[in-house]
Each structure stands twice: as C-alpha cells, then as structure tokens.
Homo-oligomer: A and B are copies of this chain.
Amino acid sequence: MEWFKAVYHLESTPADIEARARALAIEQSIEMPPSAVRQAEILQDILARVEEIEPAEPGYFRVVLQMAVATTAFDTSGLLNMLFGNCSLQEDVELIDMELPPNLLEAFSGPRYGIAGLRHLLNAYDRPLTCTALKPQGLSPEQLSDLAYTFALGGLDIVKDDHGITNQVYSPFHQRVPAIQKAIQRANLETGGHTLYAPMLAGSPRVLRENLRVARDEGIRVVLVAPMLIGLPVFEELMGGSGMAVLAHPAFAGNRIAPPLFFGKLFRLLGADAVIYPNHGGRFSYSRDTCMSLAQAARAPWGHVLPALPVPAGGMTVERVDEMVGFYGPDTMLLIGGNLLAAGDGVLERTRAFVRRVAASVV
C-alpha cells in the first residue's frame, strides 16, 4: 500500500491531542468506529495513520496523517475529499500541507505552460511580468475595448478581464472577447508589442466549453478562471484540455486551507500556469510570510509539475513595484488594477510608468 501525507493544524489541549488526531484520521478515511470494522485489511490498508504530532503555536498542534493513495481514486474530487472533506466542517482543523508520492502526483498534469512557457508566449524573458484588469463591471464591450487598447499601448504583458466580468447582458462573452482581442491586436501592431488578452471564463461546463471555443476562434492564448467558482475538477479537466495558458483567480477560495498549499500547490497541480493572490499590504490580510510561502510553493521544483508564476494583486500601486520585485524576485507577475485606472486621463501614462519601473527593477 502506498501512502500520501496530509498536514493539519489542530486546535487542542495537550491532553486531548492524541485522541483528536486519531479521530481526524478516522473521519478522513473510514468514517466509522475502527472497532466496528470487520476486515483486518481495511484497518491495515485504508485507515489513515497518525504519523506525527508536534506542538505549534499555543493551543495548536501540527499533525501529519498518512492516507492511502488508493482512496483518492486518483482524481481531483477524491484527493480533495481525502485531504479536507468532512473535516472542512470542523472548525478546529486547518489543512496546511500535503506530500504526494510519484504515482499520485503523476495523476495530475500541472501547468501546460509554466513560467517558461508564459515568458515565451509573452516574449519577455528576463524581468518580472506585468498585468492589469479591465474594470469596472458594467462597461460595454466597446468601453472595455477602448480601455484594453490603452493598456496595450502602455506595454503591459497581460490585460485580463476583471474576474467579475463574465457573461452579463451588458457585455456578453461572445461580443466582448472578440472586440477586446481586436483592440489589443491593433495596439500590438502599432507598438510592436506582445500584449495578450486574458478573458474571464465562468459558468457551467456547457458554457465553459462554448466560451473556450469562442476564445480559441479569436486566437486567445491565455484565459482567466476562478477554479473555486467553477469547481476544481472542472478546472482540471476543461482547462487542461483547452490549450490555453491559465491564470487562476482566488475568488470564492476562502476556507481553512493554508493559501500556500491551496494556491501555490493545489491550483498549480490542477493546471494553473499563474496564480493570482492577495498581496500583503493591500486590501486583504495575508501576511508577508504567507505571500512568500505561496510564491515559493508555486515556483518550487516538484516532479514533472512545471512551476507556476506567482501574481500578487489586490490594492497594489505603481509606487510599490520596487518593493514587490525586491520581495518576490523576477519570476513574478505584478498585477495592478485600480491604481492605474485612478489616474483618470493619465491611465496611459501611469501604465507606461508601471512598465518602465518593472523593466528598471531588475539590474
């Protein structure tokens, strides 16, 4: 029998932690009293094992479980269920890491492009990448196209939809995406640049398939997806077969899975070429440590799984470029949205300033 590891933080008293860890192992594997199991081989091969318990912050323990690889069924929903199924409903549990043996890791393809592939698509090899978002929601395809044209003139690498822009009646996917793509191609012709447009894909599997076809017909190479909004197995299956580079957005992904694991490992494992996440010091509460661990997890060597590009975002400003590049290094994509738009008539100039600062940030 092969095993994989799941690492949890459990809130517990020292007196209770052994029983609590054991109860977690039961909950996440056989989900019944071991004394009522009549087959010795299930206790031997299926029941999860408590490998390690060690104190963490006061009142918390780090618990490593070993779980049977076969129980995952080697698919996305099975892996998620074994890692954080029932126990996601228990408020004293946080999932903080996992370790997968080669046969389980190989069940997942990971990013198709990875950092090197994205750089090749964008013809940008030796500097951090730049990205912005088309917003706000409510603009028409024409208004969004005008904005996209300006951003592309400014020389950004990727212009993505705001994640809330999907298929609304005021901007349906099949009208919006061709219009914006053409605006960006026009700017590229004028500047000689390589800006790519990443439209947001959302909806049910049927809608996703239709919209992927529209995007492919328009020559789109990169798409934006919120894996938790569409469902992680759908993300893995549909996006993996799309031929597109995939930026993963964290919307609806708040839970008790540590962000470095969820975005840096799981989203990457399921096919994200780049992972967007809330940077420290913006509108969200991630710490510097969390952000750094996330970026490291996304980029770390991991079997056949290509590295994914960390994309810190959320309330970022052009003024913070040097700090962010200093913190994350060049294999990063900086995403600045509202701060460019806040320049009003000066959007083009602020966009150029963003691009210049990023280019100048690496010696």
Contact surface of A with B, Cβ cutoff 8 Å: 23, 27, 29-33, 35-39, 41-42, 45-47, 68, 70-73, 75-78, 80-82, 84-92, 133, 135-139, 143, 162-164, 166-170, 202-207, 226, 229-238, 250-256, 278, 283-285, 314, 337-338, 341-344
Interchain CA distance A87-B283 in the complex, whole Å: 10
Which residues of B have CB within 8 Å of A78? 166-168, 202-203
Partner of A207, one of B75, B92, B203, B238: B75
Does A164 lie within 8 Å of B205, measured CB to CB? no
Query: CA A32 – CA B163 in complex, angstroms?
Result: 12
Is the beta-carbon distance between B31 and A137 smaller than 8 angstroms? yes
A77 touches B31 (CB 8 A): no
Given contacts A70-B169, A230-B233, A344-B36, contact A135 B31 (CB under 8 A): yes
B138 and A32 form a contact (CB under 8 A) = no
Interface of A is mostly: loop
C-alpha spacing A111/B35, complex, angstroms = 38
B91 touches A285 (CB 8 A): yes
Residues of B within 8 A of A284 (CB): 89-90
Cβ of A46: which chain B residues have Cβ within 8 Å of it?
A: 136-138
By the criterion CB–CB under 8 Å, are A89 and B254 in contact?
Answer: yes
As for how many copies of this chain the complex holds, the number is 2
Least CB distance from A66 to B in Å reads 15
Partner of A164, one of B81, B163, B231, B237: B81
Please name the residue on chain B nearest to A27 by beta carbon.
B283
- Shortest A165–chain B CB gap in Å is 9
Which chain B residue has the least Cβ–Cβ distance from A91? B285
Pick the most buried of A47, A139, A167, A205: most chain B CB atoms within 10 A of its CB.
Answer: A205
- The answer to whether A73 and B143 have CB atoms under 8 Å apart is no
Known interface pairs A33-B342, A36-B338; 13 further A-B residue pairs with C-beta atoms within 8 A, sorted by A's residue number = A29-B137, A32-B338, A33-B341, A42-B136, A46-B136, A75-B167, A78-B167, A78-B168, A88-B251, A89-B250, A204-B237, A207-B233, A231-B231
Chain B residues in 8 Å Cβ range of A238: 205
Q: Contacts A337-B31, A338-B31, A338-B36 known; A202 to B77 CB distance under 8 Å?
A: yes
- How far apart are the CA atoms of A89 and B191 in the complex, in Å? 38
Q: Is the Cβ of B70 less than 8 Å from the Cβ of A168?
A: yes
Bound Cα distance A342, B37 (Å): 8
Distance in angstroms between the alpha carbons of A343 and B32 in the assembled complex: 12
Question: A88 to B87, alpha carbons, bound, how many Å?
Answer: 19
